[in-house]
Amino acid sequence: DIQMTQSPSSLSASVGDRVTITCRASQGIRNDLGWYQQKPGKAPKRLIYAASSLQSGVPSRFSGSGSGTEFTLTISSLQPEDFATYYCLQHNSYPLFGQGTKLEIK
Amino acid sequence: QVQLVQSGAEVKKPGASVKVSCKVSGYTLTELSMHWVRQAPGKGLEWMGGFDPEDGETIYAQKFQGRVTMTEDTSTDTAYMELSSLRSEDTAVYYCATDYDDSGAFDIWGQGTMVTVSS
């Protein structure tokens, strides 16, 4: 079975900072990975699909990269509304989410 | 515009079953592969199962096999998830989600249904 390791589990940053979140797969998953943002009490919202394609309507400060086993989500300049929890999701085999990264205001 | 609208919150006793519904609007359920994801309070997202179009079958996460049943009523475009033998650890928000744009990742989500298991 594929395992996903997401890091860090939490992150403190300031408005304007550049942040990077990483997901590692235990075996190659091509580019079968998406990134999601979730705010308290809300359903997850997809930001990135196919590892690097930006979901329509999502600000361009969000970007994804990677293929195979290592993937990153980058927010180029944090805005107040970006403080949330982020998850990766691999769908190469049975869907599996990463453990989540809680992004908090420093 | 495709929307998934779920049934309301439920409170169940340990050992009981719960059935959550997810109605599709703006599209046809037969054209979608519906999945279910849950999230315990303060915890991460956990995939429970869903329809695999390659095999034409519903697949379940091993953790839930034998306890979960996912069905569809195509006449009303409504998907259902039934979880039996409930225990306190099943207290969670349950989401239906689908890959509407065929990208392979879930792009449309229901609003979530809170299921509380308590004696």
Rounded to an integer, what distance in angstroms lies between the CA atom of residue B48 and that of residue B25? 23
What is the DSSP secondary structure assignment for residue A55, as one 8-state letter?
Answer: P
**How confident is the model at residue B105, as a pLDDT?**
85
Contacts of A101 (CB under 8 A, 6+ apart): A6, A7, A8, A9, A10, A11, A21, A85, A86, A87
The answer to whether the beta carbons of residues B92 and B29 sit under 8 Å apart is: no
Q: How confident is the model at residue A83 (pLDDT cuts 50, 70, 90)?
A: very high
Kindly report, residue by residue over B10-44, the tens digit of the pLDDT.
Answer: 999 999 999 999 999 999 999 999 999 999 999 99
| A95/B47 touch (CB, cutoff 8 Å), yes or no | yes
Return the pLDDT at A47.
97
**Are B100 and B28 spatial neighbours (Cβ–Cβ below 8 Å)?**
no
- Rounded to 10 degrees, what is the CA torsion of A83, A89, B46, B97? 90
Q: How many H helices and E strands in chain A?
A: 0, 11
CA atoms within a 13 Å half-sphere pointing along the CA-CB vector of B101: 14
For residue range B68-101, list pLDDT tens digits in order.
999 999 999 999 999 999 999 999 999 999 999 8
Alpha carbon distances (Å) from B98 to B24, B34, B38, B45, B78 = 10, 5, 14, 15, 13
| Closest CA relative to residue A25, chosen from A92, A86, A74 | A92
- What's the rounded Cα separation, in Å, for the pair A86 and A69? 18
Q: Which residues of B touch A94 (CB under 8 A)?
A: 47, 59, 61
Return the residue of B nearest to A6 by Cα.
B44
Residue from B47, B39, B7 nearest B23 by CA: B7
pLDDT digits (tens, 9 = 90+) for B45-62: 999 999 998 899 999 999
Q: Residue B112 — very low, low, confident or very high, per pLDDT cuts 50/70/90? A: very high
Q: Which of A91, A99, A104, A88 is nearest to A39 (CA)?
A: A104
Q: Given an 8 Å threshold on Cβ–Cβ distance, is A96 in contact with B47? A: yes
Which whole number is the average pLDDT over A98-103? 98
Which residues share a beta bridge with B97? Answer: B35, B109
The mean pLDDT of A40-51, rounded to a whole number, is 97
The percent of residues in chain A predicted with pLDDT above 90, rounded, is 97
End-to-end CA distance of chain B: 40
Strands A4-7, A53-54: parallel, antiparallel or unpaired by DSSP? unpaired
| pLDDT given for residue A68 in this prediction | 97
- Residue A86, chain B, CB below 8 Å: the answer is no
pLDDT tier, B102 (very low <50, low <70, confident <90, very high otherwise)? confident
